[in-house]
Amino acid sequence: MARVVPSQIVAFVDQNLKKLQAGRLSVSHTSVAGLTGIVRLIDELPTELLTISGNDYNDLVRGVETIRNSVAFWQQNASRDIGIADIDGKNVLQILRHVLTKCPDQSPSHATVELGFITDDVFRDNIRLDISTATSALHNGEWKAATVLAGAAAEALLLWAITNAPGLSNLVQKPKGAPEDWYLREYITVAKSLDLIKNNTEQLANLAMNFRNLIHPGRAQRLREICDRATALTALAAVECIVRDLN
């Protein structure tokens, strides 16, 4: 099944609003397909993308049920158009559009690890989104995407851990420049030196780093390796172990 996102439904609502003539929204032979299509798309929205709550969520439910009930009533009286009542003086489609514009097209799934130890909300959500997308890519058989995104999440987690480690300034041997300018290999080495990650995590992270580098055609051709299910699983395992150690 194709993945439905809020912006897709908003565009569909706009198409139907343009077809409306001045006056009241109604269910008819010409409008019923568009109305039921909007309701079906909303029903198929992934739950993690419904980030609204309170009155916004109430408006979404009222709007959907208003259309659903009006269509059901029209089906029993299909010989005439059935007007759809406004909600608080507003067109139902306009209400749905307003609510859906507040929902993102991307959001971490509820199953994604919370990363509660990271206090920066934006940084934490970006890493969670990479982990969630990498996991989804794995399930969809998109091995390269899963490998690369998991590697990116591992790099971001180690960067956060290192920059927040109290012992970083006392480290005798460390790469030149600011941590933001280091490479993943250096993050792994420094994180291990600071006892932020365990031995097996270091090994997995190094494997994930090597697999992520397979995105470079020259390296992949030279090593005669490609991203596959094994590389994706290894990269995601490295992320899980890093999270476990940092937690």
What angle, rounded to 10 degrees, do the helices at 121-139 and 143-163 form?
A: 160
pLDDT digit string (tens) for 20-57?
A: 655 578 888 888 999 999 999 999 988 878 888 899 99
pLDDT value of position 109: 64
CATH fold of 121-246 reads Four Helix Bundle (Hemerythrin (Met), subunit A) (1.20.120)
Q: How many CA atoms lie within 13 Å of 180's alpha carbon, on the beta-carbon side?
A: 0
* pLDDT for the residue numbered 114: 76
Q: What is the DSSP secondary-structure string of 98-149?
A: HHHTTS-S----TTS---TT---HHHHHHHHHHHHHHHHHHHTT-HHHHHHH
90 phi and psi angles, rounded to 5 deg: -120, 145
Q: Is the pLDDT of residue 218 over 80?
A: no
What are the residue boundaries of the structural domains of the chain, listed by start?
Answer: 6-100, 121-246
Q: What is the pLDDT of residues 124-136, one digit of tens each?
A: 888 888 888 888 8
**Percent of the chain scored above 70 by pLDDT?**
89
| Contact partners, residue 87, CB within 8 Å, separation at least 6 | 59, 62, 63, 66, 95
Given a contact cutoff of 8 angstroms between Cβ atoms, the answer to whether 211 and 231 are in contact is yes
pLDDT band for position 220 (50/70/90)? very low
Instruction: State the pLDDT at residue 217.
Output: 52
Query: Are residues 111 and 133 in contact, defined by beta-carbon separation less than 8 angstroms?
Result: no
Low-confidence winner among 15-19, 74-78, 111-115, 186-190 (lowest mean pLDDT): 111-115
pLDDT band at 211 (very low <50, low <70, confident <90, very high): confident
CA atoms of 242 and 247, how far apart (whole Å): 8
Residue 41's pLDDT is: 94
Q: Kindly report the average pLDDT of the chain as a whole number.
A: 85
Q: The tokens of 134 are what?
A: 């990498």
Distance separating alpha carbons of residues 218 and 113, to the nearest angstrom: 34
